[in-house]
Homo-oligomer: A and B are copies of this chain.
């Protein structure tokens, strides 16, 4: 009944620019294009909604501290324990997003911890990065065999460790944040903020663009209206779920009506009744 009588909480909405306006200035939380920055910091924060939690299991204080400092600097939340038992307790209390595990521990061996973690359902899929003294290949193989995800030799480069931590965390969230997304002949460039189909440039309104971006980030997967609302409109928006439908309609129109002619192309967006929408090759 009441047409937009409410005040927009944030005045941060950008509208019409000529060519392809978009979310550039519009600091929408979840539509951030991939940044060329080195560590995944801001990126990971937005993906988890909180700094990823890393558990460091390392008995040599100096090294532990080094790792902790380094990761903290990159926006991770770290906890350090020096012994295997403590590690298991810490995990019991709160399951971390990633574990950095020294192989040579005083009491319970790294391998034992690894095995225990893999045995439990809650921790089965938590990535484990082993750290061990130089080239003990047998150890390394053993570690992989027990279900470790990655392996770093001491002495290691902090950059390398960072990179591996980022990679491991990225994997748990399957999507790699690339700035080019392709599905069939649909190409979305999250950096240039452009979309084209079959080489032909399309014009999308900002919301349409973010919607398409959300869909193309996980192609084939069905996204519910709620999920899209939080991705496209932000977690704290009071927009009706049906609004998504209208924007899907607009997006479809923009994608499928090539040129100005009345011709209609096959549809990329699939409606899944009772569930939501997904994008896939028609």
Contact = CB atoms under 8 A, between A and B. Distances in A.
A121 interface: yes
Contact of A221 (B120, B151, B157, B192): B192
Interface string A258-282: 0000000000000011111010110
B176 A273 contact: no
A15 interface: yes
A6 to B, nearest CB: 11
Contact of A14 (B125, B145, B148): B145
A148 B16 CA distance: 10
A196 interface: no
A71 to B, nearest CB: 15
A171 B175 contact: yes
A118 B176 contact: yes
A274 B272 CA distance: 31
Interface stretch (A20-28, A52-60, A233-241): A20-28
A38 B147 CA distance: 11
A113 B163 CA distance: 19
A83 interface: no
Interface stretch (A86-94, A102-110, A177-185, A249-257): A177-185
A167 B149 contact: yes
A119 B175 CA distance: 10
Contact of A272 (B38, B193, B281): B193
Given A183-B121, A205-B273, A163 B145 contact: yes
A257 B44 CA distance: 45
A21 B274 CA distance: 22
Interface in A158-190: 159-160, 163-164, 166-167, 170-172, 174-176, 178, 180-184, 187
Given A159-B141, A167-B150, A16 B118 contact: yes
A38 B145 contact: yes
A246 interface: no
A199 interface: no
Contacts of A193: 222, 272, 275, 278
A144 B164 contact: yes
Contact of A120 (B13, B175, B182): B182
A17 B275 contact: no
A38 B141 contact: yes
Leading 5 A-B pairs by shortest Cβ distance: A144-B163, A121-B219, A119-B180, A147-B176, A26-B224
Given A8-B137, A120-B182, A144-B166, 12 more contacts: A15-B145, A15-B147, A16-B115, A16-B119, A20-B121, A38-B145, A119-B180, A137-B157, A141-B163, A147-B170, A192-B220, A205-B273
